[in-house]
Amino acid sequence: MTTRIRRKKSTLTELKIAVIGSPSVGKSALIVRFITKRYIGEYDHQTESRYKHEAMVDGEPVLFEILDTCPKADDEFPNAAELIQWADGLLLVYSITDRRSFNYIRRAKSDLQSDTPVQLCANKVDMVHLRQVSRDEGEILAKDFECKFSEVSAADHVDQVAEVFNELCKEVLACKRKSKQSLLERMLGGTRPYSRGKSDSNLPKD
Ligand SMILES: Nc1nc2c(ncn2[C@@H]2O[C@H](COP(=O)(O)OP(=O)(O)OP(=O)(O)O)[C@@H](O)[C@H]2O)c(=O)[nH]1
């Protein structure tokens, strides 16, 4: 007699995150910090890169697919329609040492008008002596975007950087749950509410 072992269905949640920001704000450094916990100072890539990383978020295994966008100049913006279609969440990054990178985010976000969850992240907070964008400005912009905001340093922080990705992940998962729920409600909306707890055969006949 053979015993068949049933494989447990995979419960891995897949999640696509696009990291957006002007050149040199530290997008690659943040992604690599999140994935490897290491800080690598120099990256030599001319095109966008994709990374895959599995992590536990709130006790749930999540497979992150992260797109590292690679604009060549401060006036080169990602293709908004393509990004919105691809991404479940958008991580908007600027550097506190570069006001143009802050302005880049404003402009990029105005192109990216959608319900896709967003998180705003100010990088290079270790370079506070070269600060050009105040924390208040970041907070005000995040309020404007109705999203979470944090100041971090890819160079110095490990947990705070992971927190940025995890928070965005939670936001995306909550958003997915909400839209699933409202879809279910819409589907059930047309049916008669079933108020009795017993099956029809047990109900008294009229
Ligand atoms: N001091 C400091 N430097 C950083 C930090 N993050 C990145 N850098 C430096 O900033 C430069 C750009 O970092 P990248 O990670 O390549 O930035 P990027 O946004 O991916 O740049 P592009 O690929 O050109 O779009 C590198 O010299 C990094 O070493 C940080 O938190 N603090």
Which residue, among 85, 45, 49, has the nearest Cα to 66 in the 3D structure? 49
C-alpha 129 chain-centroid distance = 29
| Residue 168: strand, helix, or coil | helix
ipTM above 0.95, yes or no: yes
Q: Does 204 have pLDDT greater than 60?
A: no
Please state, in angstroms and rounded to a whole number, the distance separating the CA atoms of residues 117 and 96. 22
The verdict on pTM exceeding 0.95 is no
| 97 in contact with ligand 1, CB cutoff 6 A | no
Please state, in angstroms and rounded to a whole number, the distance separating the CA atoms of residues 112 and 55. 27
Q: How confident is the model at residue 6 (pLDDT cuts 50, 70, 90)?
A: low
| 29 in contact with ligand 1, CB cutoff 6 A | yes
State the pLDDT at residue 45: 73
Q: For helices 159-189 and 27-36, give the axis angle rounded to 10 degrees.
A: 90
Question: Does residue 169 contact residue 57 with C-beta atoms inside 8 Å?
Answer: yes
Q: What percentage of the chain reaches a pLDDT higher than 70?
A: 87
| Span 132-177, pLDDT tens digits | 999 999 999 999 999 999 999 999 999 999 999 999 999 999 998 8
| 43 in contact with ligand 1, CB cutoff 6 A | yes
Question: Does residue 80 contact residue 111 with C-beta atoms inside 8 Å?
Answer: yes
Atom of ligand 1 nearest to the CA of 29: 15
**Domains of the chain and CATH, by start:** 13-177 (3.40.50.300)
Q: How confident is the model at residue 10 (pLDDT cuts 50, 70, 90)?
A: low
Which residue, among 190, 176, 123, 142, has the nearest Cα to 15 in the 3D structure? 176
State the pLDDT at residue 172: 96
